[in-house]
Structures are given as structure tokens and as C-alpha cells.
């Protein structure tokens, strides 16, 4: 909770049994649980005994590398495939996504019908778009654009490191494929 200790009381501890949540008195290391009664939590918040307060180091979330515009569909066929088509509905859905999708960024633009959505890559944003489509949202999206940053006056472009162990006979074709990517 922003780096400051806060006293709170856990309401319930819920564990999972299949797809069902059940009340529990115990949670052990490695268990996936849900906790009620603590209010708003953020990524890297530590829940611990008040007699032994030792916060874990904060996790860093990589900044977005790609952005797209999510817009209200204005084509002649709008409203044919989705039931959620207004900018308010799209923005509400994007704001709900921000609660658990920590690498996502959403910015309102000068155009009330368009939002700049930034994520960790095309796949990240494609999954969001497909989930919204399945939920009944209808929207238009722009082409993805790489986000460039300026550090010390120099333009920087995002990159990823990759390490591959490849048999010698396949190294040439793998290197060519990586060069095209």
C-alpha cells in the first residue's frame, strides 16, 4: 500500500477446489488464494504478521512496448456483431482490465471515441481484443505502433534478448529466421 505499513484484518481466506472457491483457515506457501477484507491491494504488496513486518522487495513491471488506438466502430456495419459499442462501454471495460493487467496502460485522447492502449507486445493486445470481442464488444483498432523512448537525448527502441541452444547444422537457418523477425 504505497510503501507504508497498514494494519488491516483479513475477513476470509478462500482457496480453490476445481473451479469452486471454498472457505479455509489455512494457506501454505505455493497455494493460490483469495483474501477478503483488506481493501485495495497493489502488485508487490506484502501481507504479513504485524509482529514480524518484513516486506518483500517490490516487483518491477516492464513498460509497454507497443500501442494501438481502440475506437468506436463507425463502419456501416457497426452494431451487427456486438452489443457493447459505445465509447463509455469500451472505456469502462478497459478500466476494469487495468485492475489485474498490470502491464497495460490506457490513455484518453482528444477524440472522445478513441483510446490509446499500450501493452507489452502485439500478442498482449491481441489477447485483450479477442477477450473483448468474445464478451460482446465491437470496436475498431489501429495498427500497432512501437513505442520509442528518449534516454539522455537519444531515441531508444524496445528489444528482447533471446538465448537459443541449436545444433550446428541448424544454426544458419535459425539465424536467418531471427534476422527476419
pTM over 0.75: no
Please state at what angle helix 122-134 crosses helix 87-100, rounded to 10 degrees. Answer: 120
Q: Look at phi and psi of residue 164 and say left if phi exceeds 0, alpha if psi is from -120 to 50, else beta.
A: beta
Predicted local distance difference test score (pLDDT) of residue 2: 61
Predicted local distance difference test score (pLDDT) of residue 92: 96
Q: Which CATH superfamily is domain 1-49 in?
A: Translation factors (2.40.30.10)
Q: What is the mean pLDDT of residues 61-81?
A: 87
Confidence check: pLDDT of 1 > 60: no
| Interval 19-45: pLDDT, tens | 788 898 888 888 888 888 888 777 788
CA–CA gap between residue 73 and residue 114 (Å, rounded): 10
Q: Where along the chain do its domains lie?
A: 1-49, 66-149
Predicted local distance difference test score (pLDDT) of residue 104: 96
Range name among 74-88, 91-105, 122-136, 166-180 with the lowest pLDDT average? 74-88
CA–CA gap between residue 7 and residue 91 (Å, rounded): 34
Give the contacts of 135 (CB within 8 A, at least 6 positions apart). Answer: 84, 93
Joined together, the cell numbers standing for residue 31 give: 497455494
Q: With contact defined as beta carbons under 8 Å apart, do 173 and 181 qualify? A: no
| Interval 105-151: pLDDT, tens | 999 999 999 999 999 999 999 999 999 999 999 999 999 999 988 88
CA–CA gap between residue 35 and residue 13 (Å, rounded): 5
Predicted local distance difference test score (pLDDT) of residue 157: 79
Tell which CATH architecture fits domain 66-149: 2-Layer Sandwich (3.30)
Reported as half-sphere exposure (CB side, CA atoms, 13 A), residue 129 has a value of: 20
Predicted local distance difference test score (pLDDT) of residue 25: 85
Amino acid at each position: 500500500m504505497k510503501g507504508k505499513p497498514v494494519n488491516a484484518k483479513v475477513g476470509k481466506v478462500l482457496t480453490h477446489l476445481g473451479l469452486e472457491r471454498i472457505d479455509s483457515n489455512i494457506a501454505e506457501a505455493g497455494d493460490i488464494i483469495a483474501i477478503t477484507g483488506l481493501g485495495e491491494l497493489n502488485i508487490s504488496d506484502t501481507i504479513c504478521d504485524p509482529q514480524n513486518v518484513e516486506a518483500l522487495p517490490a516487483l518491477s513491471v516492464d513498460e509497454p512496448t507497443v500501442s494501438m488506438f481502440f475506437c468506436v466502430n463507425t463502419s456501416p456495419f457497426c452494431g451487427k456483431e456486438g452489443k457493447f459499442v459505445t465509447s463509455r462501454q469500451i472505456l469502462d471495460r478497459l478500466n476494469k482490465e487495468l485492475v489485474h493487467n498490470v502491464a497495460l496502460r490506457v490513455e484518453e485522447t482528444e477524440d472522445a471515441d478513441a483510446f490509446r492502449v499500450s501493452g507489452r507486445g502485439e500478442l498482449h493486445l491481441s489477447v485483450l481484443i479477442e477477450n473483448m470481442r468474445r464478451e460482446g464488444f465491437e470496436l475498431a483498432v489501429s495498427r500497432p505502433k512501437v513505442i520509442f523512448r528518449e534516454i539522455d537525448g537519444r531515441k531508444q527502441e524496445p528489444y528482447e534478448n533471446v538465448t537459443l541452444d541449436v545444433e550446428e547444422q541448424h544454426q544458419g537457418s535459425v539465424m536467418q529466421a531471427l534476422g527476419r523477425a
